[in-house]
Structure 1
């Protein structure tokens, strides 16, 4: 099942994001077969990163939580909040 991860960075945490970006990207690369989509949420001016949005194929809610907990960004304390919800693709039709 697909799960949506909406992660909001803590205010002023740009350095945490920058210093953990390589390990975060390696984590995603190691899970590439599970990723439907992944990328940063941008500030209103489009210049800064303020969070993350991922849609990941997970076995169940516990697997989704484990995926979120093991993200290097989460381990580094980057996120103010993480919302995880089951998600269904409607468009474009597969």
Structure 2
């Protein structure tokens, strides 16, 4: 099953994000086989990271929730909110 994960960083989160980004990227790399796409949301300046979008494969919602909980960003308390939604890829076909 596929899931969309949208996180919004807490307002004072930029330093937390930057300090934990190498561990977060390593976590994504270690889970690359289940990731469809991933990347940061950006502020209006097009540079400052303010959240994340991940599209992942998971057996069920509980597994998607564990994926988020084990992310170094979550362990560091970065997200102000997390929305996990079942998702279906339509295009491009794959």
- TM-score bracket relative to the smaller structure: over 0.9
Write out per-residue CA displacement over residues 12-59 of structure 1, whole angstroms, 9 at most, x where no aligned residue: 210000000000001000000000000000001101000000001001
Q: Which residue of 1 aligns with 2:52?
A: 52
**Structural RMSD (CA):** 0.6
Alignment of 1:71-86 (within 5 A): 71-86=71-86
Q: Which runs of 5+ in 1 are unaligned?
A: none
Q: Which residue of 2 aligns with 1:11?
A: 11
The count of residues paired between Structure 1 and Structure 2 equals: 94
Alpha-carbon separation, structure 2, partners of 1:19 and 1:82: 20
What TM-score do you get using the length of structure 1 for normalisation? Answer: 0.97
